[in-house]
Structure formats: structure tokens, C-alpha cells
Amino acid sequence: MTTDWRDVSATTLGHYRRSAESFRAGTLDHDVSQNIQALLRHIDADAPYRILDFGCGPGRDLKTFTELGHVAIGLDGAEPFVDMARAYSGCEVWLQDFLALDLPERRFDGIFANASLFHVPGAALPRVLKQLHAALEPGGVLFSSNPRGDNQEGWNGDRYGAYYDWPTWRSLVTAAGFIELEHYYRPPGLPREQQPWLASVWRKER
């Protein structure tokens, strides 16, 4: 039986449409400064940097990038998040499903994919990673943070997710043409079993 990934995406997005307000309230104060700095310190373009916040949600990190002086554009597949992000950050925000991307080529110095790429089914991930690669300037930087796992994927309620360990994630992103810069686990300062998030930073070849 062939899976229709469009239905998978629609179901996941439906969850976020229904829970947009509670999601915004629950994540507004999350401290992801470690992740933002991990992206920014590896970008060696002239500031202000052009940054795509891939899966921007309600716009928390878009606002941070803007306050730091950069030019940030958001992208999300849930209409309520797009509206929230535009209002909260004042940034341009694109409404795009992760499985139906239409990205400009060589546009961004950095892409910030914080807690978003794990929603891409494994069968579609190589294509999506190559699209992100193409959207970066030569030498541009991709940051990703995903809940880690043992390379399983499936439904968690009405959200679809794929959960990779580091060796598998590294092989997938490297196969898309990226060069590994660093990886770490979050939250910082805790034993590994209490660090459910795998963060990694990558460069497009110059």
C-alpha cells in the first residue's frame, strides 16, 4: 500500500491549525538562543544576514533575528501560524507545505530549521534537504534541531514525525551535499538521557 504523503502532511498541519493559540502560548518563552547562536556564528557573509526560518510557527525566532539586525523570512504550512508570525515579527512569511516547497535558489545566507524537519517523512526528506541546499548561497549554513530517536517514524497523535540518531541524520544531510560543522544535544548541561533534542549545523560548499 502506497502512503499518500499529502494526506500525512495535511493531518499534521491540521493539528497545528487547531492548536495554534495554545502552541504559541506554550512556546513563546522557550530559550533557543543556543541554537540561534549556533547558526549565526558559522555564517561568514556580510551582515545583515538573509535568513529563512523554516517552520517559523508563530514567529518567536523571526522577531529575534530581526532584533539582532538580520533580514529574516518565515515559512510555515499552517495558515494561523503565518498570520501570527507576520503580526508578531513584522517579517515577510511564506505559506508553504514542507512537501510542496517553492524556494528561490541561492537566496539565503542561513536557514534555521528548529523543530521542523522531523515532520518531513523519511521518503521525502532527501528531496526537501536538496531544496534547502539549493536555496542557500554558496557557503551558506543550515541549522536543524529535531527530537532524536532510533530511526523510527510514524504518528504521535495526529502529528507525523521521524526520529533519527546522529549517524543516520549525518548520512542523510551529507547525502544532500552539506558539510558537517558541529552537532550537540539539548537542553545543555544535562545527562544524555535527559537531552531529547539533536541539533546540528551544516555548510553548503562554496
How much is the pLDDT for 183? 98
**Mean of the per-residue pLDDT values of the chain:** 96
Over 60: is that where the pLDDT of 2 sits?
Answer: no
Over 70: is that where the pLDDT of 3 sits?
Answer: no
Give the residue carrying C-alpha cell 541524520. Answer: 169
The residue-averaged pLDDT of 3-31 equals 91
Q: Are strands 197-204 and 152-156 parallel, antiparallel or unpaired?
A: unpaired
The residue-averaged pLDDT of 119-138 equals 97
Residue 144: give the domain boundaries. 5-204
As for how many domains the chain has, the answer is 1
Give me 63's grid cell: 522577531
How much is the pLDDT for 5? 82
How much is the pLDDT for 51? 98
Q: What span, in angstroms and rounded, lies between the C-alpha atoms of 191 and 195?
A: 7
How much is the pLDDT for 82? 98
- Alpha carbon separation from 3 to 89, 122, 161, 162 (Å, rounded): 36, 12, 14, 15
How much is the pLDDT for 1? 36
Of 3-7, 30-34, 44-48, 167-171, the least confident: 3-7
Question: DSSP for 77-126?
Answer: S-HHHHHHHHHHH--EEEE--TTS----TT-EEEEEEES-GGGS-TTTHH
Give the residue carrying C-alpha cell 517523512. Answer: 121
Q: Give the dihedral of Cα atoms 125, 123, 97, 101; nearest 10 deg.
A: 60
Q: What span, in angstroms and rounded, lies between the C-alpha atoms of 50 and 70?
A: 6
Task: Using the CB atoms, write b or e for 184-202: b if 16+ within 10 Å.
Answer: ebbeeeeeeeebebbbbbb
Percent of the chain with pLDDT over 70: 99
Task: Using the CB atoms, write b or e for 43-72: b if 16+ within 10 Å.
Answer: beeeeebbbbbbbbbbbbbbbbbbeeebeb
* Closest among 86, 33, 34 to 57, alpha carbons compared: 86
Please give the residue that has the higher pLDDT: either 7 or 55.
55
For the chain, what is the radius of gyration of the CA atoms? Answer: 16
How much is the pLDDT for 4? 75
Please give the residue that has the higher pLDDT: either 103 or 7.
103
Of 3-12, 39-48, 72-81, 125-134, the least confident: 3-12
Strand pairing partners for 167? none
Strand pairing partners for 1? none
* 67: CATH: 3.40.50.150
pLDDT in tens, 22-60: 999 999 889 999 999 999 999 999 999 999 999 999 999
